[in-house]
Structures are given as C-alpha cells and as structure tokens.
Amino acid sequence: MVTGERKERERAGILRRRTRVVGRFRYEVVLPGATDEEGVTASMEQGVLTVRAPKPERDRPRRIEVRVS
C-alpha cells in the first residue's frame, strides 16, 4: 500500500483550468501470486516510485537443456 499527499503548487498568472487532483491518496495493489519478501525493493527517482517484488525462486521459469543423442 502506498499513501501520500499531492500538494497544490502556487502558480503565477491566470489559471484557466485545473487538471491535477490535490490532496491525500492511497494506492493498493494485490499481486497475483507469491513474492520473495526478502527481495522486495523500492526506489524513487525524479518523482517516480518503482517497487520490485520478485517471484520466489521456485516459481520462476527455468531453462532446461535438451540433449540430442
């Protein structure tokens, strides 16, 4: 769950239209399956929040070598 608040920026000049919502918000997402809780990371760069929740090792696809005899 991510919670936060968008604050209104002061603007100079004539304001013709407001398109950005301001105030508190809450965002919650349910992931479709198990996650590796120890591997979850989050970072914020230039106002963009990136959350990575990797699958457990047992649920990841794996490559199986096929030998030709």
* pLDDT tens by residue, 39-51: 999 999 998 889 9
More confident call, 9 vs 55: 55
pLDDT, the chain, mean: 84
How many domains are contained in the chain? 1
Q: What is the pLDDT of residue 15?
A: 66
12: pLDDT strictly greater than 90: no
- Is residue 33 in a domain? yes
For residues 35 and 56, give the distance between their C-alpha atoms in angstroms, rounded to a whole number. Answer: 6
17: pLDDT strictly greater than 70: no
- Is residue 46 in a domain? yes
Could you tell me the residue range of the domain that residue 17 belongs to? 2-59
Q: Determine the Cα angle at 14 with ends 11 and 19, to 5°.
A: 65
Q: How does 22-55 read in b/e, with b if 16+ C-beta sit within 10 Å?
A: eeeeeeeeeeeeeeeeeeeeeeeeeeeeeeeeee
More confident call, 45 vs 12: 45
